[in-house]
Amino acid sequence: MVLFGRTAKHVARLIGLFIATLTAPLFRQLGYALQTAWADLTAPLRRVRSGMRHIREMVAEEKRHGPSHTATLIWHYFRSGVREYGHLAKNLFYYLLPLGAGVVFVFTVTQVLQNPFALRVEYKGQLVGYVAQEEVYEEAARALQNQLVYTGQDQEWEITPSFTVAAAHPDDLSDSQTLVNSILRSSGAEITEAIGLYVGNVFYGATTDEDSLKQAIEAIKAPYYTQYPGAEISFVEDVNLKKGVYLTESLVNYSKLEELLTSQVQGQRSYTIQSGDTPWKIAGENDITLDDLYALNPVLDNGNNMPIGEQLVIGQAVPFLQVKAIVTSVERETIPFDTETDYDTSLGFGQQRVVREGVEGQKDVTYQSVYIGGQLASKTSIGDPVIISQPVSAQVKQGVYMTSDGVVIKPGNGILMFPIGAGYKGMSRGYNGPLLPAHNGLDLRGYVGTPIYAAQSGRVIYAGQTRGGYGIHVIIDHGGGLQTLYGHCSGLAVSYGEVVKQGQLIAFLGSTGWSTGPHCHFEVRVNGVARDPMNYLG
């Protein structure tokens, strides 16, 4: 180990000597170069310092000869020094020139690095901005397409920009929205920021005059705010104003939109009532609801009056924008009382005696009324009514008839059964009311002798025959103002004053009186006024 250590030490010494031998000339040259450079750099300074010392000595020796003589000596000394040692300044310049170039280079690189490279975006030859990466432009393109409002299937607008690499200051870089705005400004006449009018999802045009369009729409609703204070005012159809970027071809002159807003649609139509017409038939054939038909024509009295030859209004001209007002109101209403009826055989059939008067209750009901164009279109209750007072039931006693076999016959309840039995052949004529030719009942055809039954329980107040007219007929009083008549009978099965129950045989079908064939003229009267029997048959 000792021998190995000695050998390694000897080898290291040899390697060191070898390296020193190789590098010694290099270090000598480097040292010489450094000494030379130092001498060149400091020589001008040494000469200047030496010159300043000699000048001070000359000034001190020549003061006695005057300032002008001293200045002349100094000038001649300076000129001779420049001629003799000027090359030293040139050497200094040669050293300082690369150093200055290096400083300029470092400054330039630093400034360039502070202004990173970016993509210069141009559209139609115009600069629209700088972006750090292409994804920023793609995001702007998507945002712009989202802002574009296409009003037709064949509309399409494409953006084709150009990109070049350029140095840009960080403040010059654009975000996506700034780029969108720049593209819009440079798009020329292709697209325009505007506001579009949509009514019921139908596009009617776009305009750049946003304020005027909004004011015109509000002016249509303004009178209704005064007419219906506190109401919810809107339009029947949805009216939407959509701001966005429109293709120029979608723009219309604002005056046309204003004219459209105040225009009328659906011209008025009329219909003349013909023989055999009914409200349902007229409404169906003219594509109008029955409620609208009645509302436009009060003369119909909700179907109770159909004057032949009368001209009905089927449709009216309405504004292009119909205004809807929803009014919420609370109304005080009565609650009808119930009637508790006790049947009493000691009273005459159908007679009533009030034991306790009924008292109506009161409630507050909240209604929501919808007015369209100033006309009431619907009225519905909302929520639960608030009960102010409960009703008090009335108590009455009503006379009934008890037959010899103990069967109690009560006055009718207003629901009638069909009066004709087996042998019925159909209805030859219906109810026409007071209209000419007047007919106040139903003509029910059948064979002579077909049984006729009481449509409801009651007392027979007529059973006999008249010349002409109804011929042999029966009239039954069912109480409560309701009566039924059975005319043109061939024979009777009941007599005056008799109490009958519903479905009891009362007569036989015939053709007496003013009749052109076997049938039963069936009539319903309420408080002496003929009504359509079809509304009472159960």
Q: Which of 468, 482, 342 is nearest to 412 (CA)?
A: 482
Enclosing domain of residue 227: 195-265
In a shared domain, residues 283 and 309: yes
Please tell me the predicted confidence (pLDDT) of residue 295: 80
Q: What span, in angstroms and rounded, lies between the C-alpha atoms of 371 and 224?
A: 10
Q: What span, in angstroms and rounded, lies between the C-alpha atoms of 59 and 53?
A: 10
Q: What span, in angstroms and rounded, lies between the C-alpha atoms of 14 and 8?
A: 10
| Partners of 173 in beta bridges | 130
Q: What span, in angstroms and rounded, lies between the C-alpha atoms of 44 and 39?
A: 9
Q: Which of 269, 292, 261, 408 is nearest to 342 (CA)?
A: 408
Q: What is the mean pLDDT of the chain?
A: 82
In a shared domain, residues 176 and 254: no
In a shared domain, residues 420 and 524: yes
Asked if residue 2 is part of any domain, the answer here is: no
What CATH number is given to the structural domain containing 510? 2.70.70.10
Cα distances from 173 to residues 120, 167, 179, 272, 530, in angstroms, run 9, 10, 10, 76, 91
Asked if residue 1 is part of any domain, the answer here is: no
Encoded amino acid at 461, one letter: I
Q: What span, in angstroms and rounded, lies between the C-alpha atoms of 128 and 53?
A: 68
In a shared domain, residues 415 and 531: yes
In a shared domain, residues 529 and 452: yes
Say whether pLDDT at 93 is over 80.
Answer: no
CA pseudo-torsion sign 171, 172, 175, 178: positive
Average pLDDT over residues 386-412: 82
pLDDT tens-digit map of 125-147: 777 788 877 788 778 777 776 66
Asked if residue 70 is part of any domain, the answer here is: yes
CB atoms within 10 A of CB 392: 14
Contact partners, residue 196, CB within 8 Å, separation at least 6:
149, 151, 203, 205, 206, 241, 242, 243, 244, 246, 250
Say whether pLDDT at 419 is over 90.
Answer: yes
Cα distances from 499 to residues 162, 230, 312, 403, 475, in angstroms, run 105, 61, 47, 9, 12
What CATH number is given to the structural domain containing 338? 2.20.230.10
Asked if residue 5 is part of any domain, the answer here is: no
CA pseudo-torsion sign 223, 224, 228, 232: negative
pLDDT tens-digit map of 525-538: 998 999 999 988 87
Say whether pLDDT at 401 is over 60.
Answer: yes
Encoded amino acid at 278, one letter: T
Asked if residue 143 is part of any domain, the answer here is: yes
CB atoms within 10 A of CB 383: 9
Q: What span, in angstroms and rounded, lies between the C-alpha atoms of 51 and 398?
A: 153
Q: Which two tokens stand for residue 501?
A: 């129950």
Burial (CB < 10 A; 0-12, 13-18, 19+), residue 457, is: buried
Please tell me the predicted confidence (pLDDT) of residue 267: 58
Please tell me the predicted confidence (pLDDT) of residue 434: 65
Give the model's confidence band at 413: pLDDT under 50 very low, under 70 low, under 90 confident, else very high.
low
Say whether pLDDT at 69 is over 80.
Answer: no
Say whether pLDDT at 99 is over 80.
Answer: no
Please tell me the predicted confidence (pLDDT) of residue 156: 66
Asked if residue 202 is part of any domain, the answer here is: yes
Q: Can you tell me which residue has the tokens 């007219």?
A: 469
Q: Which of 288, 274, 295 is nearest to 374 (CA)?
A: 295
Cα distances from 62 to residues 55, 72, 137, in angstroms, run 10, 11, 82
Percent of the chain with pLDDT over 90: 31
Q: Are 47 and 85 in contact (CB under 8 A)?
A: yes
What CATH number is given to the structural domain containing 291? 3.10.350.10
pLDDT tens-digit map of 316-355: 677 888 899 999 999 999 999 998 988 888 887 777 789 9
Q: Can you tell me which residue has the tokens 């007496």?
A: 512
In a shared domain, residues 340 and 259: no
H helix or E strand, kind and range, residue 137:
helix 134-147
In a shared domain, residues 300 and 363: no
Domain count, the chain: 6
Q: Can you tell me which residue has the tokens 């109304």?
A: 331
Q: What span, in angstroms and rounded, lies between the C-alpha atoms of 366 and 67?
A: 120
CB atoms within 10 A of CB 458: 28
Q: What span, in angstroms and rounded, lies between the C-alpha atoms of 83 and 519?
A: 158
Q: Are 397 and 428 in contact (CB under 8 A)?
A: no
Encoded amino acid at 519, one letter: H
In a shared domain, residues 240 and 300: no
Q: What span, in angstroms and rounded, lies between the C-alpha atoms of 316 and 281?
A: 19
Of 188, 221, 246, at which residue does a domain stop? 188
Asked if residue 365 is part of any domain, the answer here is: yes
* Predicted TM-score (pTM) of this structure: 0.47
Q: Which of 394, 417, 405, 398 is nearest to 484 (CA)?
A: 417
pLDDT tens-digit map of 241-290: 988 888 877 888 999 999 988 888 765 677 888 887 888 888 888 778 88
In a shared domain, residues 436 and 531: yes
Asked if residue 145 is part of any domain, the answer here is: yes
Percent of the chain with pLDDT over 70: 81
Encoded amino acid at 344, one letter: D
Cα dihedral: 219, 223, 224, 229 (round 10): 120
In a shared domain, residues 294 and 234: no
pLDDT tens-digit map of 421-470: 999 999 999 998 766 667 899 999 999 999 999 999 888 999 999 888 99
Longest C-alpha distance within the chain, in Å? 181
Of 370, 399, 428, at which residue does a domain stop? 399
For the chain, what is the radius of gyration of the CA atoms?
58
In a shared domain, residues 219 and 280: no
Q: Are 365 and 330 in contact (CB under 8 A)?
A: yes
Please tell me the predicted confidence (pLDDT) of residue 146: 67
In a shared domain, residues 77 and 149: no
CB atoms within 10 A of CB 116: 13
Q: Which of 128, 112, 139 is nearest to 163 (CA)?
A: 128
Q: Which two tokens stand for residue 361?
A: 């209750």
Q: Are 247 and 190 in contact (CB under 8 A)?
A: yes
CB atoms within 10 A of CB 178: 15
Of 57, 86, 114, at which residue does a domain stop? 114
H helix or E strand, kind and range, residue 148:
strand 148-149
